[in-house]
Structure 1
Amino acid sequence: MNDANPAADDAPVFTVLPLGNERVLLCPADGAPIADARAATDLIGEASFAGATVLAIAAQRLDASFFRLASGLAGEIAQKAANYRLRLAVVGDIQAQLQRSSALRDWVRECGEGRTVLFVADLDELARRLGAG
């Protein structure tokens, strides 16, 4: 008989990384896709509870609708993070999504001019962008 708690196996594992003066809550690639505002709110709660200043989400974890700006998911997640004074970082390769959408390319470029939403290839680039590397 297996006494393991199946719910515990499904619980997301987050890592909090100190990068420079920032505390980054890293949402790993493994796990259920972040496909709606509820999932984003849960992540923001985790980040706040952990004392994080940056919520870093692996790009593979984001539902495809995030990269279709017309869905509103990307804007909603970015706005929720900003409301809670969190910076949002999307970590990973999004070249395929960028090739499919000029609107997404424009938004990513605009985000690159600011400090609230970051799109980075990996954690090393995130550290550099946060002034930690």
Structure 2
Amino acid sequence: MNIKKINENGVTIAYVTGSEQLITDVQSAIDLMATVRYEVDSHRIIVNKADVCEEFFDLKTRLAGEVLQKFINYQTKIAIVGDFSSYTSKSLKDFIYESNNGNDIFFLPDEQQAVEKLSSLK
């Protein structure tokens, strides 16, 4: 796991990449949050879509809801960056839309937009 520390508007954001997928189940998400807090003392995380298992994007598995609820419970904001246009599920598109209009979870096209979004939140 590689963590790039980004400071923007007085906010520390961790951009985490890995040679293996970072989020594959609830426990891996908790481990990710704990590692980021320990290493860079941040409650804001950016990960690439490729570092999240594909089951996450199939809402029928309920993995996305379970994982993202942990982020909310632990007061950690996350932006998943990548191209989500290949998904055809209306429920997933609605989920992404609703998440992007909230304050905790975001699905954005690139790192710069993720940094802007995460650094502008209270």
Q: What TM-score does the superposition give when structure 1 sets the normalisation length?
A: 0.80
Task: Structure 2: give runs of 5+ residues left out of the alignment.
Answer: none
Mapped contact 1:91–1:120 kept (Cα < 8 A): yes
**Which of 8, 18, 25 matches 1:19?**
8
* Structure 1 segments of 4+ aligned residues over 4 angstroms from their partners: none
Note if contact 1:29-1:60 (Cα within 8 Å) is conserved in structure 2: no
The residue that corresponds to 1:45 in the other structure is 34
Q: Tell me the distance in 2 between the aligned counterparts of 1:70 and 1:22.
A: 35
Bigger relative contact order, structure 1 or 2 (CA pairs below 8 A, ≥6 apart)? 2
Q: What value does the CA root-mean-square deviation take over the aligned residues?
A: 1.7
Q: What's the secondary structure of 2:2's corresponding residue?
A: coil
Higher strand share: 2
Amino acid of the structure 2 residue aligned with 1:106: D
Task: Determine helix, strand or coil for the equivalent of 1:24.
Answer: strand
- Higher mean displacement: 81-90 or 12-21: 12-21
Quote the sequence identity (%): 24
Shift of 1:89: 0.8
Decide which of 65, 70, 75 is 2:55's aligned counterpart.
Answer: 65
Q: Distance in 2 between matches of 1:52 and 1:26?
A: 10
Q: Contact between 1:29 and 1:58, CA under 8 Å: does it hold in 2?
A: no
Q: Give the superposition deviation at 1:28.
A: 1.3
SS state of the match for residue 95, structure 1? coil
Q: 1:119 aligns with which of 107, 113, 118?
A: 107
Deviations 1:32-77 (A, max 9, x none): 3521112111101112212112121110111110101111111122
* 1-structure distance, mates of 2:110, 2:53: 19
- Number of matched pairs: 119
Other structure's SS at 1:14 match: strand
The Cα of 1:82 is off from its aligned counterpart by: 1.1
Which residue of the partner structure matches residue 93 of structure 2? 105
The corresponding residue for 1:32 is 21
User: Secondary structure in 1 aligned to 2:66?
Assistant: helix
Q: Unaligned 5+ residue runs, structure 1?
A: 1-11
